[in-house]
Amino acid sequence: MPLQKKDYMSDIWKDGIFANKVVFCTGGAGTICSAQVRALVHLGANACIIGRNVEKTERAAKEMASLRPGAKVIGIGAVDVRKFDSLKDAASRCVKELGGIDFVIAGAAGNFLASIEQLSVNAFKSVMDIDVLGSYNTLKATLPYLIESGKKHRVDSELNPCPLGTGGRIIFVSATLHYRGMPFQAHVSVAKAGIDSLSNSVAIEYGPRGMTSNIIAPGPIESTDGLERLLPSDAKAAYIKSQPLGRVGHVRDIADATVYLFSDAGNYVSGQTLVVDGANWRVSGGTTSQGNLQYPDFLLSGEEVANVTGKKSKL
């Protein structure tokens, strides 16, 4: 059953604000990224979503195209963000079929629980390759089109806003894990810190060419793989009660943040991190336990986190 509008965006946004714009999104069939793209398509954009699973990506694209009469959404599967040529070809196809690329969401990511002692070199490298190298490859593959769009839609001054809408904008989907540290997440924390730094560099180097680059850092979001891994069902009620807003996030919260950054309202926002977590990271630090992985007892026990692929790394 197709998602309802309330499931992926708020009612405050004006229809058509992204008319004739094109968004390119890696991880576009994922829980969070698909909501981001749905909101943009609903508001007038066409889209190209990228994923590894062909069937899942194409099915998501077909469903997204039904959100608005005349919407065009391309789903390109069998794309590995670790391989630049694969992404470059996908970007070229997007431009050929949709006419350009105005917005990019770098959302492909990988995660699992493992202590540093248990984490093999190859497992660490895999997360770095997907998150950091994958984000860089996404940037490089779409950069020529973002520069073109940024130049076309550049806002020269407050008194002379661009009449053609917005463009030349990229969002990197990050996290808050590395702000205060979290056990069993060293690999992801390092990767997300690298993504944050990359976005900041893009903002500095390409701002003079009309581009903006920002980070959205989601906190715990309902119905995502990340939350299910980090929060077992028997601990969920107590965890939610401990949150400042008394709830976990919804994909709609991330989609609304995306619309803001890509809209006219975000014209002067660049090189920033928009944390969407209900103040979660302000109250959870490095001593947080992950379900039955109690800190520090589990680490001191010498046991291994279950369901981690590969053998224990030797020190």
What pLDDT, on a 0 to 100 scale, did the predictor assign at position 162?
A: 59
What pLDDT, on a 0 to 100 scale, did the predictor assign at position 23?
A: 98
Task: Using the predicted structure, report yes or no on whether residue 26 has a pLDDT greater than 70.
Answer: yes
* 226 contact partners, CB below 8 Å, separation of at least 6: 111, 220
Average pLDDT, the chain: 89
Single out the catalytic residue among 115, 192, 199, 270: 192
pLDDT tens digits, 77-127: 999 999 999 999 999 999 999 999 999 999 999 888 899 999 999 999 999
In this prediction, residues 182-198 reach a mean pLDDT of: 95
Catalytic site residue 14? no
Report d(CA 197, CA 178) in Å as an integer.
12
Look up the CATH number of domain 14-301. 3.40.50.720
What pLDDT, on a 0 to 100 scale, did the predictor assign at position 257?
A: 98
Best-predicted range by mean pLDDT among 6-15, 267-276, 294-303? 267-276
State what percent of residues in the chain have pLDDT above 90.
71
Give all strands of the β-sheet with 212-218 in edge-to-edge order. 73-76, 46-50, 22-26, 103-106, 169-173, 212-218, 273-276
- What predicted TM-score, i.e. pTM, was given to this entire model? 0.89
pLDDT tens digits, 195-214: 999 999 999 999 999 999 99
Domains in the chain: boundaries: 14-301
Single out the catalytic residue among 174, 189, 199, 270: 174
Secondary structure (3-state) at 213: strand
Task: Using the predicted structure, report yes or no on whether residue 227 has a pLDDT greater than 70.
Answer: no
